[in-house]
């Protein structure tokens, strides 16, 4: 009975939404006076005596089975049956309306209610069949809303769902226009329309590009065509496909009808112009090794004050301390023996100044004014305003994380002081003339990986296996975009729970085991029997038997799994997880594929545990302390002498960011505007964390390191 009660509940909702089952849009047929009187007399028993009404309505139907009010009587009887928890009777009575009065003014509403009931029973095919034959123009306004929403729920593909949402939106827009004319329920109509707009935006965001292109062709110029076109243009810009972005922006411009849409396309055109400008300089981003031997930017003779904003207390204090050590090393404020004698010199405090001029013979006359953000955005913004008030402070380095960096960026832009953030969030710098972002982003790491896979490995077909987390989904999208931008194809993608320890199912999903017929499953079982039997044969014969078994086609003449049809597989996760995934790939016969990894793989323990399972893998990293290039080796040696520990990526990137400012000071730039202009001119800067070129929008383009796995060590590839 649970399913029937759910169906009755759904019907009740329809009744509430529709207001009255007796409401319809067609003009009623003329009703003879005697039939009207008999019908009204039967209805007069409601709501006090439903049983008497039921008897009277059945008598009315017996007398006037084909009369103009017969479908009304059936509808009222169905309503009574549902109210008395007799769903079978109610459903049967609604069915009679369709079979006996298909052209009546109650047929459309009855069809809708039956579709709702079938949906409540999880009979989606039956519900879809009922809705396909439904003309929503035959329904009341509220019933039409219910029908269109049900079509959304029954959509089989993302494209169909978006198309159905577009139909619902068009209907809701008509409701809003009518409400504004009549001056009633305007707020409710706006709320409904806004909710559907939000749902459409989420669908557009999650849909893949071919789905959006298909939808746009179907929509032509109907809403939300302009939003789909804008989303496609933005994706082309994100992927660096500038000519395609130009075409898509032009298409979006032709579709927008409001000021918001025009402002969005104007912003996209502005971004396209900046990207075209930056594309001219991004080509000059060679591997760090190619810059060895060139004349390097100098920081000797730098003079001035630099503000520093870092989380030196609270949850992120360890990251702040690591960054501070890199900044102190770049500024050259201490010699190693000074720190060894008095470690408190570099101990974090809430607020303090460091001045190199206190040490005779120092190569720079630099003052650092350090403030603790504690990871708090409000505190970071307040610190920027304080430092900006000190006219000796020419630029500020930091903060590290997104929220505090965004708050600091707003304050720096308002104060007109250059801010060089250590954030990975590109939005920190975008649209702000005085804000720069220098840290290596996940996009930087993925682009150099994909470029190497194309150019050096000859890969054309790619796969991704990722954790079902925000990070994993984000890395999957960046990877997919990078592959598509180079004309490659992602042919397999699978995800797993971040707490998973057995990766058999997600791996098998990538290699053809997801959709198998019963006959194919039997063929796989038969093959396993052959392989097991072959183990008893001599090695040469066993190998031939196994090879023949795996070469056999399935019952329909198609290859049987495993179907490994990709050249490279990207797995963006931490080393501990990779140590379980890599053997799982081998166990499930994923062979002949080059593994690609992010900087999270950079753990020597992984090589000891996974051993040959990760041999030949390619990893990108924002920093690698064991690199032999002088820029890196010199930094590491100085850091270890000064702080008696090895540097990490945060120290290296903070070191490089500070040096960017010091280079401007050493070049004689002695005011904030000159520092700002100088930072925008940075091209192919060689640092401890790789090569950096500054884009016109203040976002650094980085070339991280590429490492290959050979034996039990990582080996630099560039």
Mean pLDDT for the stretch of residues 84-95: 91
Q: Is the peptide bond before 150 cis (omega within 30 degrees of 0)?
A: no
Is the pLDDT assigned to residue 337 strictly greater than 60?
Answer: no
Residue keyed to tokens 């900044």: 327
Q: Write out pLDDT tens, residues 230-244.
A: 999 988 887 667 888
Query: pLDDT-based confidence at 13, cuts 50/70/90?
Result: very low
Phi-psi region of 670 (alpha: psi -120 to 50; beta: other; left: phi over 0): alpha
Query: pLDDT-based confidence at 363, cuts 50/70/90?
Result: low
Mean pLDDT for the stretch of residues 589-614: 91
Is the pLDDT assigned to residue 198 strictly greater than 90?
Answer: no
User: Can you say whether the dihedral through the CA atoms of 686, 687, 688, 693 is positive or negative?
Assistant: negative
Is the pLDDT assigned to residue 663 strictly greater than 90?
Answer: yes
User: Can you say whether the dihedral through the CA atoms of 693, 696, 700, 705 is positive or negative?
Assistant: negative
Query: pLDDT-based confidence at 358, cuts 50/70/90?
Result: very low
The pair of structure tokens assigned to 306 is 């630099």
Is the pLDDT assigned to residue 498 strictly greater than 70?
Answer: yes
Instruction: Look at 23-32, 640-649, 655-664 and tell me which has the smallest mean pLDDT.
Output: 23-32
pLDDT score, position 426: 86
How many degrees, rounded to 5, is the angle at CA 704 between CA 700 and CA 708? 170
Residue with the larger pLDDT of the pair 515 and 428: 428
Q: Which of 4-13, 27-36, 558-567, 589-598 has the highest mean pLDDT?
A: 589-598
For residue 117, give every residue at least 6 positions away whose Cβ sits within 8 Å of its Cβ, in sequence order, or none. 7, 10, 11, 87, 91, 94
pLDDT score, position 93: 92
pLDDT score, position 437: 96
State the chain's mean pLDDT as an integer: 85
pLDDT score, position 707: 94
Is the pLDDT assigned to residue 496 strictly greater than 90?
Answer: yes
Mean pLDDT for the stretch of residues 145-167: 87
Is the pLDDT assigned to residue 278 strictly greater than 70?
Answer: no
Helix (H, G, I), strand (E, B) or coil at 106: coil
Mean pLDDT for the stretch of residues 106-115: 90
Q: pLDDT above 90 covers what percent of the chain?
A: 45
Is the pLDDT assigned to residue 2 strictly greater than 50?
Answer: no
Query: pLDDT-based confidence at 338, cuts 50/70/90?
Result: low
Instruction: Look at 22-26, 189-193, 585-589, 669-673 and tell me which has the smallest mean pLDDT.
Output: 22-26
In 3D space, the residue among 491, 633, 455, 470 whose CA is nearest the CA of residue 566 turns out to be 491
Mean pLDDT for the stretch of residues 124-141: 89
Residue 647 near residue 636 (C-beta atoms within 8 A):
yes
pLDDT score, position 354: 59
Query: pLDDT-based confidence at 564, cuts 50/70/90?
Result: confident
In 3D space, the residue among 428, 448, 447 whose CA is nearest the CA of residue 439 turns out to be 428
In 3D space, the residue among 98, 217, 205, 225 whose CA is nearest the CA of residue 158 turns out to be 205
pLDDT score, position 585: 93
Is the pLDDT assigned to residue 353 strictly greater than 80?
Answer: no
Mean pLDDT for the stretch of residues 209-229: 86
pLDDT score, position 257: 84
Query: pLDDT-based confidence at 523, cuts 50/70/90?
Result: confident
Mean pLDDT for the stretch of residues 271-290: 70
Query: pLDDT-based confidence at 23, cuts 50/70/90?
Result: very low
Q: Which of 24-38, 129-143, 283-297, 534-548 has the highest mean pLDDT?
A: 129-143
The H or E element spanning position 127 is helix 124-132
pLDDT score, position 356: 46
Query: pLDDT-based confidence at 15, cuts 50/70/90?
Result: very low
Mean pLDDT for the stretch of residues 576-583: 94
The pair of structure tokens assigned to 557 is 């003449």
pLDDT score, position 432: 92
Residue with the larger pLDDT of the pair 696 and 634: 634
Task: Determine the Cα–Cα distance for residues 367 and 195; give it in Å rounded to an integer.
Answer: 53
pLDDT score, position 341: 55
Residue with the larger pLDDT of the pair 329 and 363: 329
Is the pLDDT assigned to residue 717 strictly greater than 70?
Answer: yes
Instruction: Look at 203-212, 341-350, 552-561, 708-717 and tell me which has the smallest mean pLDDT.
Output: 341-350
- pTM equals 0.59
Distances in Å between the Cα of 356 and the Cα atoms of 344, 364, 365 are 16, 7, 6
Mean pLDDT for the stretch of residues 401-410: 95
As a dihedral over the C-alpha atoms of residue 250, residue 256, residue 259, residue 262, rounded to 10 degrees, the angle is -10
Q: Is the peptide bond before 399 cis (omega within 30 degrees of 0)?
A: yes
What is the maximum span of the chain, computed from C-alpha positions, in angstroms?
115
Mean pLDDT for the stretch of residues 366-372: 92
Helix (H, G, I), strand (E, B) or coil at 371: strand
pLDDT score, position 10: 35
Q: Write out pLDDT tens, residues 66-87.
A: 999 989 989 999 999 999 999 9
Is the pLDDT assigned to residue 351 strictly greater than 70?
Answer: no
Is the pLDDT assigned to residue 602 strictly greater than 60?
Answer: yes
Q: Write out pLDDT tens, residues 305-329.
A: 999 999 999 999 999 999 999 999 9
Is the pLDDT assigned to residue 211 strictly greater than 70?
Answer: yes
Task: Determine the Cα–Cα distance for residues 562 and 548; give it in Å rounded to an integer.
Answer: 14
Task: Determine the Cα–Cα distance for residues 231 and 244; give it in Å rounded to an integer.
Answer: 13
pLDDT score, position 342: 58
In 3D space, the residue among 624, 597, 617 whose CA is nearest the CA of residue 688 turns out to be 624
The pair of structure tokens assigned to 570 is 């990207």
pLDDT score, position 275: 72
The pair of structure tokens assigned to 631 is 């820029």
Task: Determine the Cα–Cα distance for residues 636 and 627; give it in Å rounded to an integer.
Answer: 9
Mean pLDDT for the stretch of residues 86-97: 91
pLDDT score, position 30: 83
The pair of structure tokens assigned to 513 is 């085991």
Domains by residue range for the chain, with CATH: 2-154 (1.25.40.10), 224-282 (no CATH), 291-434+628-702 (3.40.50.2300), 444-516+561-621 (3.40.50.2300)
Query: pLDDT-based confidence at 200, cuts 50/70/90?
Result: confident
Instruction: Look at 310-319, 402-411, 651-660, 681-690 and tell me which has the smallest mean pLDDT.
Output: 681-690
Task: Determine the Cα–Cα distance for residues 58 and 552; give it in Å rounded to an integer.
Answer: 67
pLDDT score, position 336: 53
Instruction: Look at 49-53, 221-225, 526-530 and tell me which has the smallest mean pLDDT.
Output: 526-530
Mean pLDDT for the stretch of residues 544-561: 74
Is the pLDDT assigned to residue 16 strictly greater than 70?
Answer: no
Task: Determine the Cα–Cα distance for residues 608 and 587; give it in Å rounded to an integer.
Answer: 18
pLDDT score, position 284: 62
pLDDT score, position 591: 86
Is the pLDDT assigned to residue 111 strictly greater than 80?
Answer: yes
Task: Determine the Cα–Cα distance for residues 102 and 70; give it in Å rounded to an integer.
Answer: 12
């Amino acid at each position: 009975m649970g399913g029937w009660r759910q169906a009755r509940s759904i019907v009740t909702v329809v009744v509430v939404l529709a207001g009255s089952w007796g409401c319809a849009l067609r003009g009623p047929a003329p009703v003879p006076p005697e039939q009207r009187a008999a019908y009204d007399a039967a209805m007069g028993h409601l709501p006090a005596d439903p049983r008497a009404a039921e008897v009277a309505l059945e008598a009315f139907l017996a007398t006037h089975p084909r009369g103009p009010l017969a479908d009304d009587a059936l509808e009222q009887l169905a309503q009574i049956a549902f109210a008395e928890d007799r769903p079978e009777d109610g459903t049967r009575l609604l069915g009679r309306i369709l079979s006996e009065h298909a052209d009546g003014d109650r047929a459309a509403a009855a069809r809708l209610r039956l579709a709702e009931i079938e949906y409540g029973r999880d009979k989606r095919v039956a519900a879809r069949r009922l809705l396909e034959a439904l003309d929503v123009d035959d329904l009341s306004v509220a019933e039409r809303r219910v029908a269109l929403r049900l079509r959304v729920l029954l959509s089989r593909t993302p494209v169909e769902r978006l198309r159905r949402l577009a139909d619902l939106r068009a209907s809701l827009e008509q409701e809003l226009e009518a409400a504004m004319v009549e001056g009633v329920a305007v707020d409710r109509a706006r709320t409904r329309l806004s909710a559907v707009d939000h749902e459409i935006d989420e669908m557009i965001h999650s849909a893949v590009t071919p789905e959006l292109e298909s939808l746009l062709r179907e929509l032509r110029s109907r809403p939300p065509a302009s939003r789909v076109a804008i989303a496609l243009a933005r994706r082309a810009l994100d992927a660096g496909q500038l000519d395609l972005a130009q075409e898509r922006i032009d298409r979006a411009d032709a579709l927008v009808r409001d000021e918001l849409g025009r402002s969005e396309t104007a912003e996209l055109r502005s971004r396209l112009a900046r990207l075209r400008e930056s594309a001219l300089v991004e080509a000059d981003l060679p591997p760090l090794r190619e810059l060895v031997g060139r004349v390097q930017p100098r920081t000797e003779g730098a003079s001035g004050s630099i503000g520093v904003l870092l989380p030196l207390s609270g949850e992120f204090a360890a990251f702040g301390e690591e960054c501070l050590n890199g900044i102190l090393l770049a500024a050259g404020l201490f010699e190693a023996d000074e720190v060894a004698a008095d470690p408190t010199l570099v101990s974090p405090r809430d607020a303090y100044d460091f001045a190199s001029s206190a040490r005779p013979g120092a190569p720079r006359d630099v003052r650092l004014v350090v403030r603790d953000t504690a990871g708090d955005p409000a505190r970071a913004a307040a610190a920027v305003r304080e430092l900006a008030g000190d006219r000796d402070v020419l630029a500020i380095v930091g903060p590290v994380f997104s929220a505090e960096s965004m708050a600091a960026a707003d304050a720096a832009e308002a104060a007109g002081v250059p801010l060089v953030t250590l954030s990975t969030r590109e939005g920190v710098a975008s649209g702000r003339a005085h804000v720069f972002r220098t840290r290596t982003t996940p996009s930087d790491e993925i682009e150099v990986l994909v470029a190497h896979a194309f150019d050096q490995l000859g890969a054309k077909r790619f796969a991704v296996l990722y954790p079902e987390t925000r990070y994993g989904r984000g890395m999957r999208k960046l990877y997919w975009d990078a592959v598509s931008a180079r004309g490659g194809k992602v042919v397999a993608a699978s995800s797993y729970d971040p707490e998973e320890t057995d990766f058999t199912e997600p791996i098998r999903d990538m290699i053809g085991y997801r959709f198998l017929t019963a006959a194919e499953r039997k063929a796989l079982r038969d093959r396993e029997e052959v392989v097991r039997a072959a183990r008893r044969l001599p090695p040469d014969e066993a190998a031939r038997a196994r090879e023949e078994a795996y070469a056999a086609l399935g019952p329909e003449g198609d290859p049987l799994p495993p179907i490994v049809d990709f050249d490279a597989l990207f797995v963006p996760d931490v080393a501990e997880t990779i140590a379980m995934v890599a053997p799982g790939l081998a166990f499930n016969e994923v062979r002949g594929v080059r593994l690609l990894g992010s900087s999270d793989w950079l753990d020597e323990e992984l090589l000891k545990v996974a051993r040959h399972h990760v041999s030949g893998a390619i990893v990108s990293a924002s920093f690698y302390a064991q690199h032999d290039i002088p820029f890196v080796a010199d930094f590491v040696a100085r850091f270890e002498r000064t702080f008696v520990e090895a540097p990490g990526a945060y120290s290296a990137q903070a070191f490089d960011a500070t040096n960017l400012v010091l280079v401007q000071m050493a070049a004689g730039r002695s005011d904030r505007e000159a520092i700002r202009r100088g930072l925008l001119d940075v091209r192919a800067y060689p640092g401890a964390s790789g090569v950096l070129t500054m884009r016109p929008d203040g976002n650094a383009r980085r070339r991280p390191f590429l490492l290959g796995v050979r034996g039990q060590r990582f080996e630099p590839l560039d």
